[in-house]
Amino acid sequence: MSYPQNHVFILMGVSGSGKSAVARAVAHDINAAMLDGDYLHPLDNINKMAAGYALDNNDRTTWLVALNDAIFAMQRTNRVSLLVCSALKKRYSDRLREDNSNVHFIYLKGG
């Protein structure tokens, strides 16, 4: 299977580290696509988080599929895309980069 040469940069970090602000500014400066990965959570996850409960690995499975779909969609139409996500476990980032060498991670550390 062949994949496009367009690149997706995933900006990750804890809440408040500036991911969204940095992504918006960079996307504007270089005319790149930008998506906040939190918008891709299914309703069950949103409701669980709103009730004050943390998501577990099972909760994140559907979200990771949606993120992966978004990555490939962005690659098909944009030379450079930015995706904002909260800090990801290694196995989550491995899942997102699986079979796609054009996905790159940038970790933002607020300070």
Question: For the segment 31-64, what is each residue's pLDDT rounded down to a tens digit?
Answer: 999 999 999 999 999 999 999 999 999 999 999 9
**What percent of the chain is predicted at pLDDT more than 70?**
94
Considering only CA atoms, give the Rg of the chain. 14
What band does 111 get if pLDDT is binned at 50, 70 and 90? Answer: low
How many other C-beta atoms lie within 10 A of the C-beta of residue 56? 9
pLDDT in tens, 61-97: 999 999 999 999 999 999 999 999 986 788 889 989 8
**Per-residue pLDDT, 99:** 84
Measuring CA to CA, which residue among 75, 68, 16 is closest to residue 40? 68
Domains observed in the chain? 7-107 (3.40.50.300)
